[in-house]
Structure 1
Amino acid sequence: MPDIPGPASPPGNSRSTSATIPPNILRSLSVVAGEDGVDLRPELARVGLEEAVMRSAALRVSYRQGSTVIRRALELTGDERLGLRVGSAQHLTAWGLLGFALMACDTLEHAIRTGVKYQNLSGAMMAWSAGAEEDGFVLRARLPDPALDPGVGVFLTEEAFSSVVTLTRLIVGPAFAPSRVAFVYHAPRDITPFSDLFACPVGFGAQDNRYVVHPAWARTVMPGRDPVILASVLELLDAQVAARRDQQELLEVLEVSIAQGLPSVPSFAEQARRHAASERTLRRRLADCGTTYEAIVDGVRRERVEQLLRRSEPTLRDVAHQAGFSDERALRRAVRRWHGVAPLELRRRFERSEGPGGVSGR
C-alpha cells in the first residue's frame, strides 16, 4: 500500500487563524488541568470560547485559539509533561464518527491509515503521515507552523503520540506497545513518564517525530471489524470532508481579502456583496464554520502584528498603522489580550526564540 500523507495545509496564514479544528484537545486539557486545581474557563473565554460555546458539538477552533490556551495551561499548571497526560485522557468517542470508523476497520494498519486520511475531522493539531518502512509501519507527525511557541510545540507532539498509543490500546488491548518512538526535541531531565507510557525505547533529538508499529501489530485484526458498517461511516466522513472544504475556502477568501486590504478593513457589508450574499446569509455561513467576521479580522491583524514585531525596523506606530489599528494604545491593548504582554516584550520574546537568525535587538 502506498504511503498516506496528511492533507495539505492551506496556503498563507489560514491554518493559524481559521476556526476549523474540533476542540477535542482543549476539552481534554480542561479536564486534566482541573485535576491540578486549574480552571481554564477564564482562559477559554478570553479567546472567545465561553463555557456555553464549548458545549457545542459544532464548535471549531483555530490554531491561534488552541495554542493560546495551551500556553496558559502550561504556565498555570507548571507541568512540562502536560501533553502526555492530555493525550492519555483521550477516548475514541471524542472523535465522533471517525472513532467509530477506526473500530470497524480491518486491521490496525488500516485503522491508522484511515485516521490519517480523515485527520482533519479528529481535532488533530499536528500534520500526520504514515507508511510502511523497513523497521515497521511508521507514523510521522510535524507541527503545522514551525513558528509556534516551543512549549506549545512540545505539548502538541506529546499529546499526539500519547493519544495514539492510548486509543490503540483501547481498541486492540492493553498489551499493545509501539516498537519505538522518537521526538525531535532534546531529552527532558526525566524520561520515566515516556518509558512508562509507551513501554518501548524512546529517542530524542531525532530528525522527525516517529512512531513505529511492529508489522505483527500492524496486521492485527480489529476486534470490531465490520466492512458493511465501515463503508456506511466512510460515506458520512467523505461528506463531512467536502463540507469542511467549502468552509475552509470561504475562510481563506475572507482572510486574504482582509490581509490585502490592511490597514483598511473591508466592511462586512462589502464582503457580503463580494460573495453575492446577504449579510444574514454570510453570518450564518460563518456561524456554521464556528466563527465570526470580527474574529477573522482579529486573527488576520494578529498575524500581521506578529510578522511586523519579528522585524526590528518597524516602530510601534508603524506596526499599529500597518495592522489597521487606530493608534499605539489600541495596538497595546490587542497584544496584551493576545499574549498577556506589551508589544516590546513580545518583540523581545521573538528575538530570544529565533536567535541570531531572527530579528535583531532593539
Structure 2
Amino acid sequence: MSADATSRSTSATISPNILRYLTAVTDELGADLRPALARVGLDEQMLQSADLRVSYRQGSEVIRCALQLTGSDHLGLRVGARQHPTAWGLMGFALMAAGTLRDAVETGVRFQNLSGAMVVWSAGQADAGFTLWADQPDPAVDAGVGTFLVQEAFASVVTVTRHALGAEFCPRHVDFLFAAPPDPAPYHELFGCPVRFSAARNGLAFPAAWVRTEMPGRDPVTFASLTTLLDEQLASRRTRQDLLEVLEISIAQSLPDVPTFAEQARRHATGERTLRRRIAECGTTYEALVDGVRRERVELLLRRPDVTLTDIARQAGFSDVRALRRAIRRWHDMTAVELRDTVHHS
C-alpha cells in the first residue's frame, strides 16, 4: 500500500454476524471475549443491533484474541456450524426462496456484502464441477485469522445448506490453501467428504446432482421481492462505503495534518450536522476514521526499521512520541518496541 492510500479495513461496513456467534462459542469453551470486544469499542449489546457495522480490523482483532484464549485449531469450524439461514438476515430468506441450490449459491455470492462475510466469495464452473471459492480480502491477514475465516466460511455454507436441504448433503470435496492441521478429523466429521489441504485455492465443490436440487422453500414471487429489497440495500451500502472510503483517503493524503470536520463538510458541499449523521449511519464517527487511518499509517511505518518513533509520530500526526506510545498501547495493549517486533515477524 502506498503512503497516500488507505484500506477499507478501517471502515465499519461488515455486519457482525460472525462476532455474535464467536462470542457464544467462546463462552461455551470457558473463554471471556468481552475484554477483547471492549478494546475495539464493542460490547455484547452492540452486537445485537441490526444496524451495527464493524470494520475488518475490528473483526480480525477479536478473532485473533479468541484464538489465543481458546487455543482451538478448529474454532472457525465450530462457529460456522452454529449458523442458520436466518443468521444471514434477509439474504438467508432469499436463499431459501431460490429455485435451486445453484441459484441460492449464486444469490449468496451476489449479495455477500450484506451477509457479514469476511472472505471474498466467487462461484463458477471448474474441472470438479460447480465450485464456491473463498479468498482473503487482505493477503497480509494474520495466518491464524485467515484460517479461522475460511473454516467459518465453508462450515457455515455446509451447515446452512443442510438446514435447507437435509442432513445428508455433503460437498464433493473441500480444498484449503493452508497446510493440514495436526488433527484433521473435525474437518472430515463436519464436511463428510474428502478434504484437501495445501491446495492452490480455498474451494468447495458441489456434486452435480445437488447443484440441480430444488430448494424446498422455492417461491419465484417471494424470491423476486427479496432480491429487489437486497438490491436496494446493496445500493445504499455502496453509497455509505464510498463516503467512508473518500473520507479515509482524504485523511491519509493530508497526514500529518488532519482536515477538520468543518473542512470535510465543505469538501462534500454539505452541512456538518448532515455529514455527521451520514457517518453515524455507517456505524462510525469521524474521530474513529482518523484514528483508524493513523493506526494504519503507524503500522505501515513500523515495518521500516530505518524510521524512528519520532519520525513515525510526526508523519502520523501525533504531537510527540509519548502520544504515539499511548495510542499504540490503546490499539494493541503492547509497547511500541513490542509492536515493531511483531510486525517485523508477521
Partner of 2:170: 177
Written as runs of structure 1 = structure 2, the 5 A alignment for 1:310-349 is 310-349=303-342
**Conserved in 2, the CA contact under 8 Å of 1:68 and 1:339?**
no
Partner of 2:158: 165
Deviation at 1:50, TM superposition (A): 2.8
2:13 partner SS = coil
**Conserved in 2, the CA contact under 8 Å of 1:45 and 1:51?**
no
Partner of 1:352: 345
Matched, 1:270 2:257: no
- Report the Cα distance in structure 2 between the residues aligned to 1:15 and 1:87, rounded to whole angstroms: 24
1:20 partner SS = strand
Match of 1:39 among 32, 37, 45: 32
- Report the Cα distance in structure 2 between the residues aligned to 1:299 and 1:243, rounded to whole angstroms: 23
- Report the Cα distance in structure 1 between the residues aligned to 2:41 and 2:85, rounded to whole angstroms: 26
**Conserved in 1, the CA contact under 8 Å of 2:5 and 2:253?**
no
Deviations 1:181-216 (A, max 9, x none): 011111110000000000001111111101100111
Written as runs of structure 1 = structure 2, the 5 A alignment for 1:1-362 is 13-353=6-346
Q: Which amino acid aligns with 1:175?
A: E
Deviation at 1:45, TM superposition (A): 1.7
Q: Which amino acid aligns with 1:72?
A: C
- Report the Cα distance in structure 1 between the residues aligned to 2:338 and 2:253, rounded to whole angstroms: 27
Q: For structure 1, which segment, 110-119 or 131-140, has the greater mean C-alpha deviation from structure 2 after superposition?
A: 131-140
Deviations 1:294-352 (A, max 9, x none): 11111101111111111111111111111111111221222222222222222222222
**Conserved in 2, the CA contact under 8 Å of 1:103 and 1:223?**
yes
2:133 partner SS = strand
- Report the Cα distance in structure 2 between the residues aligned to 1:77 and 1:174, rounded to whole angstroms: 28
2:53 partner SS = coil
1:181 partner SS = strand
Deviation at 1:12, TM superposition (A): 5.0
Q: Please, what is the CA RMSD of the aligned residues?
A: 1.3
- Report the Cα distance in structure 2 between the residues aligned to 1:82 and 1:71, rounded to whole angstroms: 11
2:345 partner SS = helix
Deviations 1:29-60 (A, max 9, x none): 01001111222222112211133322211000
Partner of 1:5: none
- Report the Cα distance in structure 1 between the residues aligned to 2:329 and 2:201, rounded to whole angstroms: 34
Q: Which amino acid aligns with 1:240?
A: Q
2:137 partner SS = coil
Deviation at 1:278, TM superposition (A): 1.7
Deviations 1:110-164 (A, max 9, x none): 1000000000000000001100222111011111001111111111111111111
- Report the Cα distance in structure 1 between the residues aligned to 2:56 and 2:170, rounded to whole angstroms: 30
2:122 partner SS = strand
Q: Which amino acid aligns with 1:86?
A: V
- Report the Cα distance in structure 2 between the residues aligned to 1:78 and 1:334, rounded to whole angstroms: 28
Q: Which amino acid aligns with 2:322?
A: R
Moved over 6 A (4+): none
Q: For structure 1, which segment, 113-122 or 145-154, has the greater mean C-alpha deviation from structure 2 after superposition?
A: 145-154
- Report the Cα distance in structure 1 between the residues aligned to 2:245 and 2:344, rounded to whole angstroms: 29
Question: How much identity, in percent, do the aligned residues show?
Answer: 64
**Conserved in 2, the CA contact under 8 Å of 1:14 and 1:251?**
no
Q: Closer, same or farther in 2 for the Cα pair 1:25/1:289, shift >3 Å?
A: same
Q: Which amino acid aligns with 2:43?
A: E
Partner of 1:358: none
Q: Which amino acid aligns with 1:59?
A: L
- Report the Cα distance in structure 2 between the residues aligned to 1:53 and 1:288, rounded to whole angstroms: 14
TM-score if structure 1 supplies the norm length?
Answer: 0.92
**Conserved in 1, the CA contact under 8 Å of 2:120 and 2:134?**
yes
TM-score if structure 2 supplies the norm length?
Answer: 0.97
- Report the Cα distance in structure 2 between the residues aligned to 1:344 and 1:80, rounded to whole angstroms: 29
Deviations 1:254-276 (A, max 9, x none): 00110001011111111112112
Q: How many residues are aligned here?
A: 343
**Conserved in 2, the CA contact under 8 Å of 1:162 and 1:197?**
yes
Segments of 5+ residues of structure 1 without an aligned counterpart are: 1-10, 354-362
